[in-house]
């Protein structure tokens, strides 16, 4: 009945319900950025290390 009310097949309705159940209520990165802005932000003086990346050693 719910699927028909939304104009979807039963499978599409179940998919929609499951997608909404597992979708986070908020984006963590956006929430952290908002906290940073509310505190006045931070100026980071970051410089990229131009040296080549060394492969990890697992021995």
For residues 19, 20, 21 and 22, what is the CA-based torsion angle, rounded to 10 degrees?
Answer: 60
pLDDT for residue 27: 86
Inter-residue contact 2 to 13 (CB < 8 Å): yes
> Looking at the domain assignment, is residue 19 inside a domain?
yes
Number of structural domains (the chain) is 1
Domain span at residue 16 reads 2-38
pLDDT for residue 35: 92
pLDDT for residue 56: 94
pLDDT for residue 23: 84
> Looking at the domain assignment, is residue 43 inside a domain?
no
> What's the pTM?
0.43
> Looking at the domain assignment, is residue 54 inside a domain?
no
Predicted confidence (pLDDT) at residue 58 exceeds the cutoff of 90:
yes
What is the tens place of the pLDDT at every residue in 5-52?
999 999 999 999 999 899 887 888 899 989 988 998 878 888 999 999
């Amino acid at each position: 009945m719910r699927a028909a009310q939304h104009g979807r097949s039963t499978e599409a309705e179940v998919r929609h319900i499951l997608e909404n159940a597992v979708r986070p209520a908020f984006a963590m990165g956006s929430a952290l950025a908002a906290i940073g802005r509310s505190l006045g932000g931070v100026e980071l003086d970051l410089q990229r290390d131009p040296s080549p990346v060394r492969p990890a050693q697992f021995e």
